[in-house]
Structure 1
Amino acid sequence: MKSGMGAEKPKLTELSRTSDRISFLYLEHAKINRQDSAIKVMDARGIVFVPVALISVLLLGPGVDVTHRAMELMGDSGLAVVWVGEYGVRQYAHGRALNHSSKLLEKQAKLVSNVRSRVAVARKMYQMRFPHEDVTKLTMQQLRGKEGSRVRKVYRKLSNETGVAWNGREYNVDNFDEGTPINKALTAANQTLYGLSYSVVAALGASPGLGFIHTGHDLAFIYDFADIYKANYSIPISFEMTAKYGDEDIATRTRQAMRDTFRDGKLLKQMVHDLKFLFEVEDDQDPEFMSLWDDDDKEGMQKFGVQYHEISEE
């Protein structure tokens, strides 16, 4: 082992399983360098060494400077890196997926490409919002109607509890400031939820564009996924902030309230669990797993890294 913090660069087979890693680490206003197999984080409070093999996703917030050598280490260690706003309230860009496996992406593509399985996943998303009801026999049209009724009830309930007037969801995408305070708060809160959802989806290697309910947009699945959590997060926080501050810098205050809600990491953990549940994917397989596809169902996948010989056509 080298002197200093960390160890020599790990081999791929030595990398920790996702379930064994600390899930998400958020950093802001810091300088990030590399020392052996740890990232060296420096800010006004001092220096901390973080072993990258123990982290799943690194969220880089405002004011972060990161060196090329540090990024090289993160890539070698299978660490997903996402550039975000304060505490994940914006998603600007992301690096590699969490691991080398394309299992989640392949499963998503397979499920969304078949009408029956696509509807099944969509029903699971709605079932998560109606835990005490059976929606397995409902059509997509019935599900949309049921969800619309549920959300309207949530709006009315929160309006009565907070005293914030509610006349429907209305906003102009080209003129944010002309909206009512509650509608501006909802827009700001939902944007933060989309950002966090994007961070999770991208970090785990799924596709933001392969939606099951929404379609035709590069963020279709983000809208699908975020909608699961709106009634418990963005909607109540929007009414709370509007009741407290009215139109006084409501967008910023709402984003900050969402940020504070994200701090404990419980929603991030829940999102990871829910994403795997939707796609029926277990914990990561061997990180070195790779196969060659074969069109023979009996033979199945073939070993990677083997020198194959020509087969006679006799």
Structure 2
Amino acid sequence: MGKIPGVKPPELKSLVRVQDRLTFLYAEHCVVNRDDNAVTLTDRRGTIHVPAAALSVLMLGPGTNVTHSAMSLLAESRSTCIWVGERGVRYYCHGASLASSTRLLEEQAKLVSSERGRLKVARRMYAMRFPNEKTDGLTMQQLLGKEGTRVRRAYERESERTGVPWSGRVYKMTDFDDADLINRALSAVNTSLYGVVHAVIVALGCSPGLGFVHARDERSFVFDIADLYKVDMTIPLAFDLAAMEVSDPSSAARKSLRNRMKDGKFMERCVHDIRRLLLVDRDGGADDLEVEDTRIRITCTVNYEVEPKCQL
């Protein structure tokens, strides 16, 4: 057999663990290529070299051209590549995930395939939202009723805090501008949250479509996980934006949420919550869950224009 051309791929044992890598690198208006085991970024100002094995995520923005050899190097280095919008605020698609095994995906598929498993995970989700209440004996309908009450009270509380009038959640999926300012702000900030959660889910190797509370949508699990954080994160932020009377709630929502997440703590929390939901039975306890290679920090959002509806 003849010699295979090109640079020899690095051995797995020599690769940098994900938790020790750079969080992400954003590039736009440049050519992405390869030089030995480094990714090169070239524009009119010159060329820079980045060790591929030190990258967790390479974010390709507008105006980027990437070569086949660069993508091969990223795959060999177990680094993922994500195509995003300007400044990384929209997520379009991704390459390989950062997961080293299918463990989480297998557990997710097993749990979602039975009614008992789905209800068990749903109860865990609501237990995270109601830490002082027992949810073991509640049906799905009772859980949804408690969540509905919780969200309505959150809207009323934030309306009183900010002075923004609140008359209910009203929006058209096909016409973003038809809603009032607070409803537009809520749609925009929730859209950004869905994108961040989606990025974490696919990076962990889970399926965005296999949900436990939401169902029959390609992003059901995204909506399930995002609902864990809305009352504490997106609802207060949306009312703050409405109180400031921002002219462009969509742009303001993306930037504001990104600023609140830039320290990476939300990403770590999201990773921990997903693993806790899916692996607690297998590992014997949530406190014993090892992190492995899942400390992922990605700063990007998905360009979703609609919000989900729960289907039982």
Band the TM-score falls in, shorter-chain normalisation: 0.7 to 0.9
- Uncovered stretches (5+) of structure 1, i.e. residues with no partner: 1-6, 286-314
Helix, strand or coil for the counterpart of 2:223?
helix
Contact 1:88 1:195 in 2 (8 A): no
Report deviation, 1:42.
Answer: 5.0
Query: Per the alignment, do residues 9 and 239 of structure 1 end up closer, same or farther by CA in structure 2, a change over 3 Å counting?
Result: same
Q: Tell me whether 1:129 sits opposite 2:129 in the alignment.
A: yes
- Uncovered stretches (5+) of structure 2, i.e. residues with no partner: 1-6, 280-288, 294-312
Query: Per the alignment, do residues 127 and 88 of structure 1 end up closer, same or farther by CA in structure 2, a change over 3 Å counting?
Result: farther
Helix, strand or coil for the counterpart of 2:129?
coil
> Structure 1, residues 56-96: CA drift from partner, whole Å, max 9, x if none?
33333444443322211111112122223356542211111
Partner of 1:252: 251
Higher relative CO (Cα under 8 Å, sequence separation at least 6) belongs to: 2
Q: Which amino acid aligns with 2:80?
A: A
Partner of 2:206: 206
Contact 1:208 1:222 in 2 (8 A): yes
Q: In structure 2, what is the Cα distance between the partners aligned to 1:21 and 1:262? A: 18
Alignment length (residue pairs) = 277
Report deviation, 1:165.
Answer: 0.7
Q: Which amino acid aligns with 2:266?
A: L
Partner of 1:14: 14
Query: Normalised by the size of structure 2, how large is the TM-score?
Result: 0.80
Identity of aligned residues (%): 46
Partner of 1:302: none
Contact 1:190 1:230 in 2 (8 A): yes
> Structure 1, residues 264-307: CA drift from partner, whole Å, max 9, x if none?
2222222122222221164448xxxxxxxxxxxxxxxxxxxxxx
Query: Per the alignment, do residues 132 and 103 of structure 1 end up closer, same or farther by CA in structure 2, a change over 3 Å counting?
Result: same
Partner of 1:74: 74
Q: Which amino acid aligns with 2:185?
A: A
Q: In structure 1, what is the Cα distance between the partners aligned to 2:90 and 2:244? A: 24
Partner of 1:169: 169
Contact 1:89 1:196 in 2 (8 A): no
Partner of 1:3: none
Query: Per the alignment, do residues 202 and 54 of structure 1 end up closer, same or farther by CA in structure 2, a change over 3 Å counting?
Result: same
Q: Rg bigger for which structure?
A: 1
> Structure 1, residues 176-207: CA drift from partner, whole Å, max 9, x if none?
11101000111111111111111111111110
> Structure 1, residues 229-283: CA drift from partner, whole Å, max 9, x if none?
112222111111111025x222222222223223222222221222222211644
Deviates more, 1:7-16 or 1:207-216: 7-16
Runs of 4 or more consecutive aligned structure 1 residues displaced over 4 Å after TM superposition: 42-48
Q: Which amino acid aligns with 1:55?
A: L
Helix, strand or coil for the counterpart of 2:33?
strand
